[in-house]
Structure 1
Amino acid sequence: MTTFAQQGRLRFGVNYTPSKHWFHSWYAMDLDATRRDLAQIAALGVDHIRAFCLWPVFQPNATFVNPRAVDDLRALVDAAADAGLDVTVDAIQGHLSSFDFYPSWTLTWHESNLFTDPRVRAAKVRYLRALGAALADRPNVVGYQLGNELNNLVQHNPASPGQIDEYLDELLAAATEALPDRLVTHSAYDAAFYTDGHPFTPQQSARKGGMTTIHPWVFSYDCARRYGPLSVAATHLGEYLVELAKAYATDPHRPVWVQEAGAPQPHVPAGDAAAFTEATIRNIATCTDVPAVTWWCSHDVDRSLADFPELEYTLGLIDTDGTTKPAGQAYADLIREYRAEPPTPAPRTTALVYDGDLDTRSATAPGGTFFDAWMAHAAAGHRLAIVHTDDTHRPDHLAARGITTLTTP
């Protein structure tokens, strides 16, 4: 069985967005359309996809996991295998492309807190176990994730960091029990790193699950518009968030999966998308302990579907007719280059020290003082690590990361 992280190899993948009916395709899967999509994806040279299960379709009742949806997922996994692609599966959606999805048994007079209600958590555990059992005999399923950007749901499901700790521990244990030999992760959008007081924390991202997952989006905190779509800040954002995530990890070599990055219009104009894609990936490739980059996303959203924010319609590497876009060609060219000659990470002997806590995270966000200090070094051609002040007195930790010099903003 292939493992997700492979020594000395940077993996490339896409977040699979079906070209026909978007993720609503789970209501009536067209396997022929899926196979066409996967053939187009494989032609880019990627080796894996990230697949998303719509939670209301897969678990329409707290005690019922939809067997038809599970069969469709297995069919998708098998079709990916036929195309030469590994699969990581996100179970609880949760949040996708600016929409939130709740099963009816969590709403109306059943309304429950998705993170703290024992009934909902027990149902999620039941679902994770059932889905894991269905995937256990599929060798190309290399990863299992709780769900996509679950922290998007905290506005309507308030919780404390301690309650989120308990939630993640319980669900990660269930997912690991269901698929004990696969990578098990959770993901949060970058508010976990950037937003003061947010209940999902950088420590949770950097210490729970099999590896850290990051989603460096240049629309967050208006990064691309604030600095420019091809600016140092925009094109080094992925690299920066890799290093920021490492600053919160207790394991000096914990892997950081760049699980989502993309070129959202109008933040990144169409004419700049290819250059932005290439620069972003080349900068990420200078980091150590990055096993994979998974671009968002495979296909554009069809404009026949209503009510998406404008940026969601154009994020694909492939358009809805199956034509590879300039950003998709740039991605394919880089994959071919790095397959022939794997990139060599840059030494990061100097680290910028971050002295902050959960109520001062905004300093590390685009526009923040720490962010701007790191980017000033990047603009000068320096590849800096980031270390939290708590680790500055741990010489073994610094040595393991190759850090010999500390500097402050």
Structure 2
Amino acid sequence: MTTPPLAPPDDDWRECPHCGLFSRLPHIQPGMVAECPRCDQTLWRMRRATLNFPLACSLAAGLFYLFALIAPMLEVDAYGRFSLARIETGPLRLVEAGWGLVGALVFAVTLVLPGLKLAITLTTLLGLKFHLPKRWLRGIFRYYAPITPWAMIDVYLLGFLVAYTRLAGMFSVRLDTALYALIGLMLAMAAADAGLDQEIVWRALDQPDKTAPSAQAGGLISCDACGQVSNGETGDLCRRCDAPLFTRKPASISRAWAYTIAAACLYIPANLYPFMDLTSLAHTQSYTIMGGIVELADVGLWPLAALVLFASIAIPLLKLLGMGYMLLATQFCSGHMLQGRTKAYRIIDFIGRWSMIDVFMVSILIALVHFGQFANVRANVGAICFAAVVVLTMFAVNAFDPRLMWDNDQEPEA
């Protein structure tokens, strides 16, 4: 394990979340970046904008979110019949069809968690502006970072693009207000994320009268929620945000292996079994993930076919192989290619959520195409297997502590 500094920490000390190196943050100016000297992980990217900019973007995102909730998103005319869908229609139809877990997942990542993320951002920034109790705000804001990867409006819109190309080839489709609201919501949330400096927020939420740590208070330990370095031991509470402290994620290897193995077992049926069934004029055809990709390529939509191939086939497989390699190397105490393995971890962590494209596509098709024997779309067992693969691989990445890889590279203490 990385040897921490002997001096008591202050607000400028940070432990790198990817390699475990303790280092002091330099005095940087807005627009500059402080990186870990060992693995190049960004420790602080100081934003140029004040907190007023992300607050304004979040307020705009809140208005777009409300429009997306109350307005229709798509309308379809087919065979003399009319179908209208809102953003919640797809998840509800999945639940009605007996695929409750998939419906709940889509509902959570497209409606509940984006709304919760907005609520956390607005509550924290408005609370700072109107001097609400900081203890409450610290307890709220510490959930901002864990929720962010699960707010998938951007991925949902890519899934909509794939679904729209399929619908437009069969029916008359009209875009409605909620779709434009979702695009505005995605842009506003992206701008708020780009302008929000989490380090500045945490410093604004800090306790001005907190007791400084002492060298006798225990070893140095960093908070996974706010990054504060304190003297303490596993099980203590962070002196800034009150989150539980751990030197390394509890049972990291065993939990990551469990999620990875479960995802690997489901990856095969997710690709072998039909993803959805499409009925057209009393003729039903089942589509696997690869079958849908081939169909997109056959009609000349090569960019979309490549996108779905990469997101639905390549990314889950690369995540499984990458996680397996990192876990084996860590368990065998290998110190080789630490820089490369750390970069691979960052890539796997970043790309995992984009595999939800196909799940969102099916939810949109189910919401709109329900014309009985004339045209109908139903989810099949491949959809729930694939959704489980995506969620389990994200859990595996979150459970794995990359600092364990670097612990194997340290010289034993005398």
TM-score band by shorter chain is under 0.3
**Is the helix fraction higher in 1 or 2?**
2
User: Normalization by structure 2: what TM-score?
Assistant: 0.25
The structure whose Rg is larger is 2
Scaled by the length of structure 1, what TM-score is found?
Answer: 0.25
Which has the bigger relative contact order, CA under 8 A and spacing at least 6?
2
